[in-house]
Amino acid sequence: MTSRPEERPPATPDRSSTTERPRRAQLVGTGLIGGSIGLALRARGWFVTGDDLDPGRAADARAMGVVDRVGHDPGAELAFVATPLGAAVGAVVELLARGGPDLVVTDVCGVKAPVVAGAGHPRFVGGHPMAGSEQAGLAGADPGLFEGATWVLTPTGDTDLQAFSRLRDVVASLGADVMTLSPADHDRLVAMVSHVPHLVAAALMNAASRGAKEDAALLRLAAGGFRDMTRVAAGQPGIWPDICADNAGAITAALDVLLGDLSDMRRRVAAADRTALLGVLQEASAARRALPARASRPDELSELRMPVPDREGVLAEITAVAGGLGINIYDIEIAHSAEGPRGVLMLLVERGEADRLRQAVTRRGYRCSVQELR
Amino acid sequence: MTSRPEERPPATPDRSSTTERPRRAQLVGTGLIGGSIGLALRARGWFVTGDDLDPGRAADARAMGVVDRVGHDPGAELAFVATPLGAAVGAVVELLARGGPDLVVTDVCGVKAPVVAGAGHPRFVGGHPMAGSEQAGLAGADPGLFEGATWVLTPTGDTDLQAFSRLRDVVASLGADVMTLSPADHDRLVAMVSHVPHLVAAALMNAASRGAKEDAALLRLAAGGFRDMTRVAAGQPGIWPDICADNAGAITAALDVLLGDLSDMRRRVAAADRTALLGVLQEASAARRALPARASRPDELSELRMPVPDREGVLAEITAVAGGLGINIYDIEIAHSAEGPRGVLMLLVERGEADRLRQAVTRRGYRCSVQELR
């Protein structure tokens, strides 16, 4: 597609210049998530060039104001790959090959280890915005989709610190709460809280649906609880075969845990073991009531600062330490010193958890100071 | 408790009188459901006497205007037992023993066969309002709780037709959609759409909760889908051991179906069988999208009329025929003829289903006519 005059991208920004030129992003995939990213970036002044496996959808995205221009922008500083999982690695590799030396690429796939391994590049950082909509596709695109949503980033030991830091800042600017996890941890955890629940919802819906063929009254009895539990099963089935195949290990492990628990429950029901059943249900009730309404940013944060060598692996080591302690990092910044290969890593964590993290990184040889914010 | 002067119940209504005296109901159990029934009846002019296993709660119900009076009303025409399952049969039997010869008794328990069998009385009709609230107990009582909700009644071959008809009219007057099912069918169907989903929600929550002990990030990733699927697990655990024990057969049967489906899914995930997975998920998606938003009363109804002998078993036979065809009965009325032991049974069903039901009852020897309403 030839770009019309008004669609011409601005000149590649000169970083030393003080004139405000729009920052430029590349979007590959203009569905629900990609479209929402495009809208959110444009609302913040970015110039967004978009492409899609389906050229018609890219044109729609242009018509709907989701992107400024259809095609490829060799001068983009940041690229979001929002294709289905099966196409993501190819798109990432192509973008890195065609882009400039500072281009940072991320994706939005629900499984991270295969994408991160397939990309295998220090300027690729895996991402997973935990946001969705009942309304699938470009029609559901919403610039506010990520406000308050958790957006996981999965740097590894090979990740370029600056690339991570730049991506993190942009993701945070869209209103998301950034969480850092290793690709493997991400995949294991989402298997339990997202992939397996989705399969369970589908299985429940199908079992009830088969029952309803024998007795139409069944679905008339399906009240709020059943509706809640099967709601996610109504979503787009198309994305799930890839997710299941690419995260098969973690999903089968989580399914085995659940199957074991359900078999135990079946045994207790059959034995009318009221005491054991009450215990299990009380435990679940207490846990559900304690479930945080959202992974919101706490009011009271502390900042940890530690000088770090500007080398690969530092970021992964620190975030792994935090992850192992169950401490969420609400923000990461890296200040690079002008003279020499060192920087200062600044981490924001909940005030009550700062000291535990400080002790843990100190044991690993970092000099770490803590400051309470506000 | 002595009733204060203003709490004295009105004189037993003289049915031939034209003066409007309030109808009188007895409530045993003033929790969420009982309290809501009390409020809904009082809003419709009934005089409600209430009692509870916990005298303090009965007094609270009086103070909150849920009942007019605490205690037992020997002149009540209708009694609702809204105690936990374990106490229901005892309360039903006591009410029938103490009440007048026209007293109709119903209950609200989530399992019907053991209550109906335990009561064993033609003027007891099992009931199950499929309504709940996030707010448990008397504090959650709401006169509008049953508006548009499905309220199952479970007459049997022994049920007195007049008793059923009177109860049905009152339940419908509270805004509920009345469904008739046999006790065993009710228990089998709610096992699939309510009891097993509740156990699955608890198992999912507990599995995630155990995972979160190892990695606190897990619950921070729990987005909308997981929250939807575990919401019911937050409810009152106390009622469930009895439900599980008293409906153990149907629950274990439904759990076995689900466990089988989940094991199939696990095998397909492990084998990365994308085609089979897509098929299962597409089936679930289509079924969930087709799930009726509520068991609402259709616009177009037909009335079936058939003369019936005024004997035991007729109502159960007709409703079983309708149930077997998957046809919901939206309304039942029985007009008793003044001369002789016959009546006319009037059934409201969806227009498109009237003829199927007419043919089926005709084959059983009933003379049935169909009339379209409005």
- Cβ distance B197 to A226 less than 8 Å, yes or no, reads yes
Q: Report CB contact under 8 Å: A150, B221.
A: yes
Of B178-182, B211-215, B276-280, the range with the lowest mean pLDDT is: B211-215
Report the chain B residue with the minimal C-alpha distance to residue A133.
B224
Gap from A217 CA to chain B (nearest CA, Å): 6
Provide φ and ψ at B124, rounded to 5°: -105, 130
Mean per-residue pLDDT, B194-205 = 95
When mean pLDDT is compared across A164-168, A276-280, B145-149, B254-258, the lowest value belongs to B145-149
Alpha-carbon Rg for chain A, nearest whole angstrom, is 23
Output the pLDDT for position A169: 92
* Chain B interface, best mutation among A193, A244, A266, by max B CB count within 10 A: A193
Given B179, B228, B241, which is nearest A217 (Cβ)? B179
Is B288's CB within 8 Å of A257's CB? no
Pick the closest to residue B138 from B32, B250, B283, B15 (CA basis).
B32
Contact call for A201 and B225, based on CB within 8 A: yes
Query: Which of A211, A263, A265 is nearest residue B192 as measured by Cβ atoms?
Result: A211
Share of chain B above pLDDT 90, in %: 53
Of the pLDDT bands very low, low, confident and very high (cuts 50, 70, 90), residue A195 is very high
B332/chain A closest Cα distance in angstroms: 17
- What's residue A152's pLDDT? 94
Calpha distance A178→A146 (Å, rounded): 10
Do A283 and B259 lie within an 8 Å CB cutoff?
Answer: no
User: Three-state SS for A347?
Assistant: strand
Mean pLDDT taken over chain B: 86
Least confident of B62-66, B163-167, B269-273, B369-373: B369-373
Torsion angle, CA of B37/B38/B39/B42, rounded to 10 degrees? Answer: 120
pLDDT value at residue B90? 97
Contact between B274 and A181 using a beta-carbon 8 Å cutoff:
no
CB atoms A221 and B189 under 8 Å: yes
Q: What is the average per-residue pLDDT within B332-344?
A: 62
Which pLDDT belongs to residue A154?
Answer: 95
Q: Which residue has the higher pLDDT, B5 or B308?
A: B308
Mean pLDDT of chain A: 86
pLDDT of residue B43: 95
Bigger pLDDT: B227 vs A196: A196
Retrieve residue B42's tokens. Answer: 């009082």
DSSP state of A3: P
The highest-confidence range among A101-110, A133-142, B285-294, by mean pLDDT, is A101-110
Contact A132 B223 (CB under 8 A): yes
Q: Answer yes or no: do A215 and B323 touch at CB < 8 A.
A: yes
- Residue A32 to chain B, least CA–CA distance (Å): 16
A102-132 per-position pLDDT tens digit: 999 999 999 999 999 999 999 999 999 988 6
Which tops the pLDDT comparison, B290 or B184? B184
Residue-wise pLDDT tens digits, A252-306: 999 999 999 999 999 999 999 999 999 999 999 999 888 865 545 556 778 888 8
Query: Which of B221, B234, B258 lies at the smallest CB-CB distance from A203?
Result: B258
Q: Is the pLDDT of residue A25 over 70?
A: yes
pLDDT at position B368: 85
Handedness of CA B134, B135, B138, B143 (dihedral sign): negative
Contacts of residue A239, defined as CB under 8 A and 6 or more positions apart, other chains included, come to A84, A85, A110
Please check the confidence at residue B5 and state whether its pLDDT lies above 50.
no
Cα dihedral B82, B88, B89, B93 in deg (nearest 10) = -50
Q: What is the rounded distance in angstroms from the CA atom of residue A108 to the CA atom of residue A32? A: 11
Pairing of strands A104-107, A124-129: parallel
Please give the pLDDT value at position A297: 55
Range scoring the smallest mean pLDDT among A259-273, B142-156, B212-226: B212-226
Sort out which chain A residues have CB atoms less than 8 A from B204's CB and list them. 196-197, 200, 258
| pLDDT recorded at residue A260 | 97
Interstrand relation of B150-154 and B124-129 (parallel, antiparallel or unpaired): antiparallel
Cβ contact, residue pair B281, A256, below 8 Å: no
Whether A166 and A78 have beta carbons less than 8 Å apart is answered as yes
Instruction: Residue A152: list chain B partners with CB under 8 A.
Output: 221
Which runs of consecutive H residues, i.e. helices, occur in A215-247? Answer: 217-220, 224-230, 240-246
Q: What is the pLDDT of residue B374?
A: 55
For residue range A258-273, what is the model confidence (pLDDT) as tens digits? 999 999 999 999 999 9
Contact state of B277 with A241 under an 8 Å Cβ cutoff: yes
Question: How does strand B150-154 pair with strand B78-81?
Answer: unpaired
Residue in A192, A218, A327 closest to B192 by CB: A218
Residues of B in contact with A148 (CB under 8 A): none
- Which residue reads 């009254």 in tokens? A217
- The complex's ipTM works out to 0.76
Residues A69 and A49: beta-carbon distance below 8 Å: yes
pLDDT score for B3: 43
Amino acid, single-letter form, for residue A221: L
Which of A180, A220, A255, A263 to mutate to test binding with chain B, by most B CBs within 10 Å of its CB?
A: A220
Task: Mention every residue, 6+ apart, whose C-beta is less than 8 A from residue A310.
Answer: A161, A336, A341, A342, A343
Over residues B220-240, the mean pLDDT reads 84
Q: B112-132: per-residue pLDDT in tens?
A: 999 999 999 999 999 999 886
Evaluate if residue B2 carries a pLDDT over 60: no
Task: Flag the least confident range among A30-34, A309-313, B21-25, B127-131.
Answer: A309-313
Identify the band that residue B194 occupies on the pLDDT scale cut at 50, 70 and 90.
very high
Give the tens place of pLDDT for each residue, A36-81: 999 999 999 999 999 999 999 999 999 999 999 999 999 999 999 9
Whether the predicted pLDDT of B338 surpasses 80: no
* φ, ψ dihedrals at B104, nearest 5°: -110, 135
Q: Would the pLDDT of A322 be above 60? A: yes
Task: Say if CB B246 and CB B84 are below 8 A apart.
Answer: no
Mean pLDDT of A317-326: 79
Per 3-state DSSP, what percentage of chain A is helix, strand, and coil (rounded to 5)? Answer: 50, 15, 35
- Rounded to whole angstroms, the Cα distance separating B143 from B67 reads 12
Please answer yes or no on whether A229 and B197 come within 8 Å at the CB atom: yes
**Dist. CA B128–CA B243, nearest whole Å:** 13
For residue B269, give the nearest of A152, A252, A327 by CB distance: A252
DSSP letter string over B312-328?
Answer: TTHHHHHHHHHHHTT--
* Local confidence band at A374 (pLDDT 50, 70, 90 cut-offs): low
Domains in chain A with CATH codes: 21-181 (3.40.50.720), 186-290 (1.10.3660.10), 301-372 (3.30.70.260)
Cβ of A222 within 8 Å of Cβ of B193? The answer is yes
Q: What percent of chain A has pLDDT over 90?
A: 53
